[in-house]
Amino acid sequence: MDIGAHVDQTDPIAEARARQAPLVQFFLGDPQGYKGPEISYAAGADALRDDAVAAGVDLYVHAPYIVNVATTNNRIRIPSRKLLQQHVDAAAAIGAKGLIVHGGHVNKSDDPQVGFDNWRKAVDAVDLKLPLLIENTAGGDNAMTRYLERIQGVWDAISSCEQADRVGFCLDTCHAHAGGNALETVVDDVRAITGRIDLVHCNDSRDDFDSGADRHANLGAGKVDPDLLAAVVRDAAAPVVLETPGGADDHVADTRWLRDRL
């Protein structure tokens, strides 16, 4: 099983080497800004793509947190869609295997159906040059991908899109736990809806089940049952990205913790 980590974007190849990881995930530019993607790798996008291939490292890009293509607010939805396309283009340019994006949310009083339909419009509007992996979230008012019935709504909406087969799922274990989804069944539950799990974000949680809080912890140091955490990773049978606190040493320790239980 391939296990890597979320790393700094300046030199993802060096970060992978420091963790002996076959894959890494990173942001392209400011995860909280609308400015658009930037390639921090000194030698540029083409070199990053080629160097990753040469090093045998798979790259994954995490879209900015502020992307919310579901919202009814035009001033957020329209720039979000633009930012998503820009990140698709940049991630494809570096040969990334996938672009991870959060499901987003609608406003408190909105009908979630509008959010589902906005997802459909986004998938129709964006030219998906690489797989787009929609991630479950831990909280958020009226979230699109916290609870299973909402994930179902998103998938029902996008299933008619021409590019539906380019949309996959990223299962975050911290978000599933804190979001209130039983880890005993979440892999089967998600697969029954999406038909696929393309990537796992393996994180422990500092918070209780269904707390709605998004605070990652190192593996075994949080409130997720260790056996369940390992079982989710095993059953999902997809590449794993650790988004746990700390640097290379902590990620090496988390990788060892996980491998010992798989």
d(CA 122, CA 174): 26
Give least dist CB 136 to Zn ion, A.
8
Q: Which residue is nearest to Zn ion (CB)?
A: 201
Give least dist CB 75 to Zn ion, A.
26
Give the interface segment with Zn ion, choosing from 19-27, 117-125, 205-213, 238-246 (CB under 5 A). Answer: 238-246
Among 51, 58, 172, 204, binds Zn ion (CB under 5 A): 172
Q: If DSSP codes are grouped into helix, strand and coil, which group holds residue 12?
A: helix
Give least dist CB 201 to Zn ion, A.
3
Task: State yes or no: residue 201 binds Zn ion (CB under 5 A).
Answer: yes
C-alpha of 199 from chain center: 7
Cβ distance 216 to 207 under 8 Å?
no
Strands in 35-76 per DSSP E: 58-62
Task: State yes or no: residue 62 binds Zn ion (CB under 5 A).
Answer: no
C-alpha of 202 from chain center: 10
Q: Which helix (DSSP H) or strand (DSSP E) does residue 126 occupy?
A: none
Cβ atoms < 10 Å from Cβ of 219: 26
Give the interface segment with Zn ion, choosing from 19-27, 32-40, 80-88, 235-243 (CB under 5 A). Answer: 235-243
Give least dist CB 46 to Zn ion, A.
28
Give the interface segment with Zn ion, choosing from 23-31, 166-174, 186-194, 253-261 (CB under 5 A). Answer: 166-174
What's the token pair of residue 98?
Answer: 């996938």
Tell me which residues touch Zn ion (CB under 5 A): 172, 201, 243
